């Protein structure tokens, strides 16, 4: 039986994790309604209070607190995406709470909530089931990091359930990869693969690869596309083979490249972001573009895309430097899965935002700064 002991200092981050996790776990639920948005609002309040507690200048922090709450309410009233706000907030929350505690809280809440949603009504699309089950697998691997048999046992059960409930190809590929890499991380030879410097750049590599595939697809499908020039770079024989390849690959990934290409052509992208119109009726029970990488570019903008990639590279470097094997594996899976599904910028699916905060070592930085001031 699970038992969670909460100390007084952890009440605010605990409540933040509960409300945010519950909110994101119920997204896509058949009976999701405006009332569930209250969970997000409460999470924002507790998150702001947690941040407020650790900022020395209370006047500035009060202004920031009010601004974040008002901004969240405004974005929610428009039906707009609030994930940027939640992502930044989660980084700050992760700075002052042990990461393992956060993983435990999320796991204990997410599991029952997802089970509840599946049993009572279900999700509107299999992708929601796949992403939630995949996140639970990654959480279990980290939570049971000191017990390989328990970790593999729990992960395997969730893996089988995920396949049975979602039948998602991307879930099968990415979570199979996660389990294989986890097994390798416990073998001497396999550790060399996990500790490769290549993984430090997996997020920008995945982003660039995703964009290149989308640009190539657009070049051969949309005659008015800005990427049409790609067709002029190769001889006609190569063009024919390249078109066949990109069309076949699009079918392999269930048309995700086509969706991303259409989204870029329809909404475009800009320096500041906000290009997506979530109110557009796509005729589908979910938003048109699935790729987390493309969503990052279009919704958060070019500037935040660059900043995010720098942060993710820093994060993976810290994981590599500290030999945090399971977090390296989680980063690899999230980066690759984000090419096909919306798992990158959602705290509900990508709990690594808390890990970013945990790896910033803010307390140590402040201690060093204080020592330097004392030393003159």
* pLDDT at position 253: 86
Residue with tokens 């989308």: 214
Give residue-wise pLDDT tens across range 131-166.
999 999 999 999 999 999 999 999 999 999 999 999
Cα dihedral sign, 286-290-293-298: negative
Instruction: Say how many residues make up the chain.
Output: 376
* pLDDT at position 331: 96
At residue 123, what are phi and psi to the nearest 5 degrees? -95, 155
DSSP result, 64-110: HHHHHHHHHHHHHHTT---HHHHHHHHHHHHHSS-HHHHHHHHHHHH
38 within domain boundaries: yes
Give the pLDDT band (50/70/90) at residue 62: low
Residue partners of 85: CB distance under 8 A and separation at least 6 = 44, 68, 71, 72, 75
Highest mean pLDDT (candidates 14-28, 223-237, 261-275): 14-28
93 within domain boundaries: yes
* pLDDT at position 6: 78
Give the pLDDT band (50/70/90) at residue 43: very high
Q: Go through 71-103 and write b for each residue having 16 or more CB atoms within 10 A of its CB, e for each that does not.
A: ebeebbeeebbbbbbbbbbbbbbbbbbebebbb
For residues 56-64, give the mean pLDDT: 61
Pick the more confident residue, 303 or 35: 303
* pLDDT at position 142: 96
- Assigned token pair, 73: 């309410």
Cα dihedral sign, 177-183-185-187: negative
Number of domains within the chain? 1
32 within domain boundaries: yes
44 within domain boundaries: yes
Residue 333 has pLDDT above 60, yes or no: yes
β partners of residue 29: 123
* pLDDT at position 1: 44
* pLDDT at position 117: 95
Give residue-wise pLDDT tens across range 82-98.
787 888 889 889 988 99
For residues 208-232, give the mean pLDDT: 84
Pick the more confident residue, 95 or 335: 335
* pLDDT at position 210: 94
For 68, half-sphere exposure in the C-beta direction (CA atoms, 13 angstrom radius) is 27
Burial class (CB in 10 A: 0-12, 13-18, 19+), 166: buried
Q: Which domain holds residue 87?
A: 10-121
Contact 357, 95 (CB under 8 A): yes
Give residue-wise pLDDT tens across range 276-313.
776 666 565 555 677 889 988 988 888 889 988 999 99
* pLDDT at position 350: 92
At residue 354, what are phi and psi to the nearest 5 degrees? -65, -35
362 within domain boundaries: no
At residue 131, what are phi and psi to the nearest 5 degrees? -70, -40
- Assigned token pair, 290: 């699935």
Give the pLDDT band (50/70/90) at residue 180: very high
287 within domain boundaries: no
315 within domain boundaries: no
Pick the more confident residue, 141 or 78: 141
30 within domain boundaries: yes
Highest mean pLDDT (candidates 11-25, 38-52, 287-301): 11-25
For residues 7-17, give the mean pLDDT: 91
Comparing CA positions, the residue from 126, 142, 206, 127 lying closest to residue 178 is 142
Average pLDDT over the chain, rounded to an integer:
85
């Amino acid at each position: 039986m699970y038992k969670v002991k909460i100390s007084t200092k952890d009440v605010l981050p605990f409540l933040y994790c509960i409300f945010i996790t519950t909110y994101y776990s119920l997204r896509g639920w058949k009976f999701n309604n405006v009332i569930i948005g209250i969970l997000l609002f409460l999470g924002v309040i507790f998150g702001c209070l947690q941040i407020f507690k650790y900022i020395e200048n209370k006047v500035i922090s009060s202004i920031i607190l009010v601004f974040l709450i008002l901004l969240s309410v405004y974005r929610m009233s428009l039906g707009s995406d609030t994930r940027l706000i939640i992502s930044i907030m989660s980084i700050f929350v992760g700075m002052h709470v042990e990461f393992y505690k956060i993983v435990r809280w999320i796991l204990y809440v997410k599991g029952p909530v997802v089970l509840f949603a599946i049993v009572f009504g279900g999700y509107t699309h299999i992708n929601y089931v796949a992403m939630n089950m995949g996140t639970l697998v990654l959480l279990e691997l980290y939570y049971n990091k000191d017990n390989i048999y328990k970790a593999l046992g729990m992960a395997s059960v969730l893996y089988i359930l995920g396949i049975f409930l979602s039948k998602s190809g991307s879930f099968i590929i990415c979570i199979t990869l996660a389990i294989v890499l986890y097994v390798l991380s416990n073998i001497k030879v396999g550790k060399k693969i996990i500790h490769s410097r290549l993984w430090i750049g997996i997020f920008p590599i995945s982003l660039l690869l995703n964009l290149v595939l989308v640009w190539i697809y657009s070049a051969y499908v949309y005659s008015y596309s800005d990427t049409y020039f790609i067709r002029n770079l190769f001889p006609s024989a190569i063009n024919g083979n390249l078109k066949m390849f990109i069309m076949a690959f699009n079918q392999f990934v269930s048309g995700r490249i086509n969706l991303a290409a259409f989204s870029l052509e329809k909404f475009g992208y800009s320096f500041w972001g906000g290009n997506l119109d979530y109110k557009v009726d796509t005729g589908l029970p979910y938003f048109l573009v699935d790729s987390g990488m493309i969503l990052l570019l279009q919704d958060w903008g070019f500037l935040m895309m660059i900043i995010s990639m720098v942060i993710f590279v820093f994060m993976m470097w810290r994981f590599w430097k500290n030999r945090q094997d399971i977090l390296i594996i989680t980063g690899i899976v999230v980066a690759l899965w984000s090419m096909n599904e919306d798992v990158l910028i959602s705290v509900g699916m990508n709990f690594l935002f808390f890990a970013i905060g945990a790896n910033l070592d803010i307390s140590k930085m402040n201690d060093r700064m204080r020592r330097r001031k004392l030393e003159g």
